[in-house]
C-alpha cells in the first residue's frame, strides 16, 4: 500500500549482485575472458562462468556486450580512458 508522501524505492537489479559478481562484471566489461578472470581472481573457469551466468540473469543481459552496456549505464564500471588501456 502506498501512502501519500511515501514511496517504495525501486530496487535496482544490480543491487542484487554479490561483491564477487560485481567484480566479475567489471572484468567482463573490460574485455577479459573467463580464463583471464579466473587467473586474475584465483578461481576456476567454471566458477567464473557460474558468476557470469548468474550476473546475466540478475541484470537481464544475454551476452557480454549487454552486460558491459548495463554496467556502464548504471555506473558499475567507468569508461576506459587512454591511461587505462593495456598495451
pTM: predicted TM-score of the whole model, two decimal places: 0.75
* Residue pair 45/38 in contact by the 8 Å Cβ criterion: yes
pLDDT of residue 86: 55
pLDDT at 26: 94
Chain centroid, CA 3 distance in Å? 34
Model pLDDT for residues 31-73, shown as the tens digit of each residue:
999 999 999 999 999 999 999 999 999 999 999 999 999 999 9
CA distances from 11 to 5, 14, 16, 27, 33 (A): 19, 8, 8, 24, 29
Amino acid at each position: 500500500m502506498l501512502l501519500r508522501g511515501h514511496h517504495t524505492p525501486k530496487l535496482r537489479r544490480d543491487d542484487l549482485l554479490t561483491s564477487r559478481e560485481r567484480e566479475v562484471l567489471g572484468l567482463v566489461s573490460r574485455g577479459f575472458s573467463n580464463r583471464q578472470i579466473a587467473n586474475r581472481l584465483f578461481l576456476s573457469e567454471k566458477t567464473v562462468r557460474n558468476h557470469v551466468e548468474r550476473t546475466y540473469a540478475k541484470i537481464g543481459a544475454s551476452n557480454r556486450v549487454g552486460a558491459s552496456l548495463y554496467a556502464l549505464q548504471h555506473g558499475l564500471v567507468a569508461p576506459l580512458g587512454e591511461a587505462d588501456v593495456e598495451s
